[in-house]
Chains A and B, each alone.
Chain A
Amino acid sequence: MMKHLDWVRYEARRVGLAGLLTPLLIMLAFSGFGLLMRANGVSPDRSTRAVVAGLEIGVATAAGLISATLASSDSLLELHLSLATRYRTTFARRLALMLGWTALVGIITTVVVRLIGHELAPVSLLAQQLVWLAPLACFTGIGAVLTLLLRSRSGAAAMIAGIWIAETLFGKVFGATTWLQPFFLFATSFTAGKSYWLGNRLELIAMGLLFGALALIWLKRNPSILLGGEG
């Protein structure tokens, strides 16, 4: 138990205040946008969408960027590969820590929004957790796999930024095209309440798990893949 607490403490220190504060700051900023929209006379329904966007677009995309960084952020990677604890184990722990913390921010946000009398999506509070869980899982998996594929953190981050831009600008097209719907990460922000929503959420989680597993298997089969990458 103590050992587990030790690594949580150690990894949390490594991720640092910036890493831990990132999802919190994003939610505060988007909630601020929501309040600002309310102050400017925007309807409560539309201003609540700022909070939905914070969870679904903001927090999830940031998790993807962090995941891309975590996959290859160990400056002592070479040394680590010679230790008994495998690098994929360390990577999985770091990922779990980041996901756990982000999930906590997501759960608290949905509960707070419900407590002040608003709804993030026209579903139960339990199902509302899928607003952030689905894109979070998918972006995290994509971030990890892209870093291994491109052997570059910033290359993976640039691709995530591209997905973010594309899905935001063509949100309506993604929502209206049947074959694109399973890949629509921001379905709640653009088309909340549509019949494909639940299926879309489950498909995204499945994709995230698949990408995550792929990254771990890849690190198991070829642990030195990140050595000599582009950084």
Chain B
Amino acid sequence: MSHGVWSPFAGATHYEFRMQLRRKSVWIATFLTSLIVFTGLHNPWNFPHDTALSVVVAQWAVVCNAFAPVVFGVLLADRLPRDRRLHLPELLDALPAPSGSRLAGKYFGSALATATPIFVIYLSGIIYILADRHDPLAVPLGLAAFLAINLPGLLFVAAFSVVMPAILWVPLYQFLFVGYWFWGNLLSPSYGIPTISTTWLTPLGSFAAAGFFSRADEIMTMDGSTGTVWQGAGSIALLLASAVLALFIAQRYLNWQRARQ
């Protein structure tokens, strides 16, 4: 990346990150809603001691990924409309910084900041596992599980939550997004409605969890799917590629919109 592209990207990421991290509502909404996470049957303290460490860690990552991205996606939906409301594009378009770098910076900065409270909640479970098992491997395993299971799903959700409100009314997008979460992640195909849950395009991270962290039958996922290492890698690649595609199309759309003004 050339300096003229990199520098605005880094600047936008930095400011978006700080701006989003300081919002009290991000922390309050995430923490309160995450109380649901602790009511399940697959929390770190629900497993017998003979369960493999990797299974406990990966299961905790999947549990966090079942609920937290809903709040995450809803919170990110106001980032582009906020700029429009404050007439920031008019100001920023007058600067030499490329709009693509700004959009990418907005995406990474706000996504990483909104994921921070989720990571804190996830980390609390990993610390519990560490204290309970006295096995320092819980920490690197926990970080690897977050990177493989949670992060691709969060980046996928963030891409759509940041860009879709460019064409959809924010409450409508938020509604459709939560509806999608039920339909595309938690709904069993046996219900009689065609669904993409149990496919690679499920940001829940079931394939990564089952593929990388256990034998297929050891992870109890929300959608009941299982997977191999290759399926796990395929699912991550598909989620990340979809996120990049969404950002790319949104960037083209925003440029077209700008050219029409």
Contact = CB atoms under 8 A, between A and B. Distances in A.
Contact of A69 (B28, B29, B168, B170): B170
Question: Which secondary structure characterizes the binding site on chain B?
Answer: helix
A150 B71 contact: no
6 contacts: A40-B192, A154-B74, A154-B78, A155-B23, A162-B67, A165-B67
A152 B71 contact: no
**Chain A interface extent, by class:** 35 or more
Most buried by A among B36, B75, B178, B194: B178
A119 B178 CA distance: 27
Most buried by A among B24, B25, B32: B25
B39 interface: yes
B134 interface: no
A18 B168 contact: yes
Nearest to A158: B29
Contacts of B33: 158-159, 161-162, 165-166
B163 interface: no
A130 B172 CA distance: 24
A61 B28 contact: no
Interface of B: 23-26, 28-30, 32-33, 36, 39, 67, 70-71, 74-78, 82, 85, 168-172, 174-175, 178-179, 181-182, 186, 191-194
B70 A154 contact: no
Contacts of A58: 175, 179
Contact of A22 (B23, B171, B181): B171
Contact of B82 (A16, A26, A40, A231): A231
Nearest to B19: A230
A191 interface: no
B192 A162 contact: no
B75 A158 contact: yes
Interface string A177-215: 000000000000000000000000000000000000000
